[in-house]
Structure 1
Amino acid sequence: MATTSSDGGKPKPRRSRSGAKPSGRIIGLPSTTSNGLFSVGDENAYTGVDPSALPRPKPIDKGFIASTEAAALEALNEDLQRRLAVTELKKEDAFAALAQAETQTMNIERETLRMATAAQARDQALRKDMEAMRLELERCRDDLVACQAHVLREKEEVKRAVAHARRAGAAADEARRTLEVERQCYTDQHRATTSRVNKETEEALAAAQRDLLDAKRQIDDLEEDVETERAWREKAQKERLNAETRCHAFEQEAGAAAAAADRNESARHKAQENMEALRQQHEEETSNQREAERKASARRRQRDLQAVNHRQHEAEKAKLFKAENQVAELRQIIEELEQGSKLTLSLKKELKRERAGRLQLGIKCSKLEAELAAFSSSNAAPSLMDQQHIPRLTPRHTPRTTTPPIGGGGPLSVRDH
């Protein structure tokens, strides 16, 4: 209701919302005189007429004025009552909207706090994961450096193994050449031995032939002696018996010599045959023995060479297998590093999205605070009587976190509620 002043019970005009003073007109009263001119204020300034030249107004009927004022007051009272009811309805709607906005603000603040807490937890987990990934990356880098050094060492060992294999090949070639030289030496020695045996055999045959010739000459000499003794038998009768005896002895000796010569001839042939057989057997045995020794030596050298080659091949296979395992480990480490780099890139992208979401959250919170401030400032301040019917809202102090939240979606707007 409108308040009344102490002078005459006339209604006291209200100030407008903008703070300007009322114009002084009373709603429902005529604003001009009987001649149609303005009678209050500087209205004559708009007509261009001098006020002293105007005719004086007629006296106003006070009863008519009182009735008119009463009717105007009644109409003003009804209008004020109607406006007051409309204002009460608007006030109730505004209070309901304010309560709803307060509820929405509480929900938004709770959701913001929850999202900030979750974002902090995610941020801490992400930092822990990034720290773990950094430690893992450092460990992988150290392992990679160690593996590179190990690979370099293995390369050096492979180079040494290749050099050793080359030296072994050179040694095998040298052994092959030595074997050829020894075979040539054995061949030359066999030829020399064969020639020596042949020479000795020829010398033995020549000696046997010389012995046979000596025996023949002895037989010829004996025959000559027998002839001589027969010629001298008549001449030397005294010595006949002796001569006969000697002749008989000589004949016996000649027979023995002939038999010996025959035996020597057969023995010579047999000896020659035996010597030829012995020579062939000796040559065969010598050749067989040398061939067996050569084959045994060749087999022994071949076995030694095969054993050395097998050991070298096994060592090279072991080194190659070890190098392949190390290469596979290096490839696995490189794949893990690539996966770690991919995970780091995905974490960086997630961090960028979180930062973008956090920035969007801050923008939406700023917009929401601006909307709440605009909504609060758009509502007029209620009077003292109206404030008694407004439920007092206790202010809430929401703790502000120093760490800005990381994304996870934008804040809930008023429409989301």
Structure 2
Amino acid sequence: MSSFSHAWRALRHRNFQLFFFGQSISVIGTWMTRLATTWLVYHLTHSALLLGVVTFSGQIVSFLLGPFAGVWVERFERRQLLIWTQAAAGIQSFALAALTLAHIITLPEIIALTALQGVINAFDMPGRQSFLVQMVEDRNDLSNAIAINSSMANGARLIGPAIAGVIVAVYGEGTCFLIDGLSYFAVIASLLLMHIKPLNLSRSKATMWEQMREGWDYVSTFRPIRTILLLFALISLLGYSWSVLLPLFAAQVLHGGAATLGWLMGASGVGALTSALSLAFRKTVVGLTRMLQVASAMLGVALILFGLSHTFWLSMVLIALVGFGMLQAASVSNTVIQSLVPEDKRVRAMSYYTMAFFGASPFGSLFAGALADRIGAPHTVMITGALCLAASLWFTFELPKIRAIIRPIYQQMGLIPAT
């Protein structure tokens, strides 16, 4: 098998093919909405703090619902759940479109609809992550499916903002929201066309609270997953907040408009897509923990330099490196956790992964927005970058300890030879 065909091996599964193509269309729409929302909020308020508040409103809901959602999702058929979450997300986008196109949208309405999307994401993300196991029958292809899924999401992240920047400049934000709403039909159709073997959904006698406690005990006491989730939470808290401040960099630092914002988001997408493709070409999960260490350090350095830059082309290169480090950290964390967690705890473990992102990111967004209001966006990004570097240093000291625990597990799975 050539290295190229090996990199795309998960696509030999029909169900994953359908998901890949349907989701590709939908995620392009999602990224169009993200750019349009940030530009709409900036256009209405010109406030870094309120940009942070809007992002906070969506992500804090996902954080609060995370443990409950992880247990709840385990009790339902994944495909049916995803059909409902995607339909709800489409309705949310159509509501945004209607209010914006009618020129009556206000900041409270944006916050309320963003919070609704947060509710949907709390159930959609752990459901989608655990559904990969059903779409990809061969467990050896699971890490490749995660990498391809990241490639698709970040290819869309490259395309979506670039399209949205042009559409916002010509037709306005409402058109982006409308296109996003229509894009959900593609992923719903792909889910309906799948032939999925139903899971044996065992009805646990334990209460929901007991199951939540069991999931927490597992992720908090198993050192490799606890350490990786903590690093990912720190990166989400500190390293993701730059995206909230991008409208300020586009308008105030680089003296551009919506198109400049689109180029910056597109450049971060190029870096993230490059990262995802590099992971797709990997043949094993062995060695990924070292990549997590490097990725978090790269993210920190790139953020510091991005904060110092006032040149458009240099900012584009640096934000691409930010995108690479950010995606590498997220995908590697996802892959290593999925490779270690037992099946009966998979959804609950992935709900904590979702919480690590959606729990830390809103506070990071709020912190970055408030700090940028006082000291400016460039200095804020430099501070968060320095803190990402500190998190990478802490993980470096933890690495030998978690490798000692992971090694016998991978030996038992046949991923590395027994000594």
Regarding TM over 0.5, the answer is no
State the TM-score, normalizing by the size of structure 1. Answer: 0.17
State the TM-score, normalizing by the size of structure 2. Answer: 0.17
Q: Judging by fraction of residues, say which structure has more helix.
A: 2
